[in-house]
Structure 1
């Protein structure tokens, strides 16, 4: 009897599913609720602008992480939930419609979809639900007696941390990573992209584009209004703009005899 081999598609959030920085959107909501200072918000704005044009760096990502953890120290779970309610509509509005199309193609192929990001799980899980994704992998802050301690309870979901979390999830759920897909804009996600059989560079930063071209990975560019393919391996984009060839988005799950 043929044995089904499960696969999944893993999507980075910032500059992949959405065009901007979810952490800055989160920080702006925290500022409106007097959880961060104007100076902290401006610092995050500078990081968000640099991120928008140049992509993430290890220093900028860990810096924003530390500021978020510091901002929520002592806050209650209810307060963070309220912030999430304010942030989610803005993020949903920022989701690229091309990304929504790729999510739908994976769902039609029977493939689970996951958001994988360094952003806080409090905003990522509801956003994944709104997008009808299977789930989310994100940064988890420590909670003691219903309040945030300002520390992490799990490894930072960034760089190698993303790949580790995906590997753990795949082992738990039985996903064949060789049949799975990964989408990201940043070379910081190279460990995640190298982990899956079908890595895709989306609006890649300079270094990721160089690596993708050298390795023959598909490269796609998303905008707010249209998608054009810069380069692929054997992938092809159909006239409808979201019909992709069998290498790129196989319509059926792989099966082993």
Structure 2
């Protein structure tokens, strides 16, 4: 069988809002982040939830995170990860969880790819019983964060770079892989795979999806379990997403019939 994977953006795709805010919240509780910084991140998180983020805002967030951890022992921030994940888990959209489950049932590896710190992304992927997580790596020297990056910033072209490396290491066939994101900033990631899917897309992403005939999924804003596929993709979009897209919402029996593949044995 061809080795394939599904890659999911985190913020505004799997969850509403910004995961980085919950990282800051946990750091503040432990005395690792001043209140003014937390309040600023809270406002930024609200704006992000409503309108998304520009490249400039994302780079500023990267710099704030790097500055926040600089000089601190890596272990002190690693201890925060379970707290952060505990706050994020209830914010994973039910519709997104169904997509994660369906790819797992189709025996595909499932990865989260996010600009958030890799420690959080890996912890979240483990909690969701996914294959793994890719995130932004901060440099650590003698157990202390230096405030510099240890790898490409996992955003924009940086996401594509870390995905490309992983796909080569794992032997994934790009044309058989899937990618899900809301933002045009993730176009480099989307263009790596044969099955890109726009989720709650911003306007630039929506325009690209329509132009290229990509499937578009929009979750109900009140987070009800409602799914609407864009008219531009029609029924062909459902087939293009592996014939499994709506199965979860019509019941597990229907999903099983669509998948017709063995369920993946998960590690507990």
Return closer, same or farther for 1:134/1:242 CA change in 2, 3 Å cut-off. farther
| 2:29 corresponds to | 32
Return closer, same or farther for 1:40/1:110 CA change in 2, 3 Å cut-off. same
| 1:133 corresponds to | 130
Q: What TM-score, normalized to structure 1?
A: 0.90
In structure 1, runs of 5+ residues without a counterpart are: none
Q: Quote how far apart the aligned CAs of 1:230 are.
A: 3.3
| 1:23 corresponds to | 20
Q: Does the alignment pair 1:229 with 2:223?
A: no
Instruction: Choose the corresponding residue for 1:241, options 239, 249, 258.
Output: 249
Higher relative contact order (CA 8 A, sep 6+): 1
Instruction: Choose the corresponding residue for 1:106, options 103, 107, 116.
Output: 103
Return closer, same or farther for 1:240/1:122 CA change in 2, 3 Å cut-off. closer
Q: Does the alignment pair 1:56 with 2:53?
A: yes
In angstroms, what is the RMSD of aligned CA positions?
Answer: 2.2
| 1:86 corresponds to | 83
Tell me the SS of whatever aligns to 2:16: coil
Q: Distance in 1 between matches of 2:9 and 2:193?
A: 13
Q: Distance in 2 between matches of 1:21 and 1:104?
A: 22
Q: Distance in 2 between matches of 1:171 and 1:155?
A: 17
Q: Quote how far apart the aligned CAs of 1:144 are.
A: 0.8
1:1-257 to 2 correspondences below 5 Å: 4-223=1-220, 224-231=223-230, 232-233=233-234, 234-236=236-238, 238=246, 241=249
Return closer, same or farther for 1:242/1:99 CA change in 2, 3 Å cut-off. farther
Q: Distance in 1 between matches of 2:68 and 2:260?
A: 44
Tell me the SS of whatever aligns to 1:150: strand
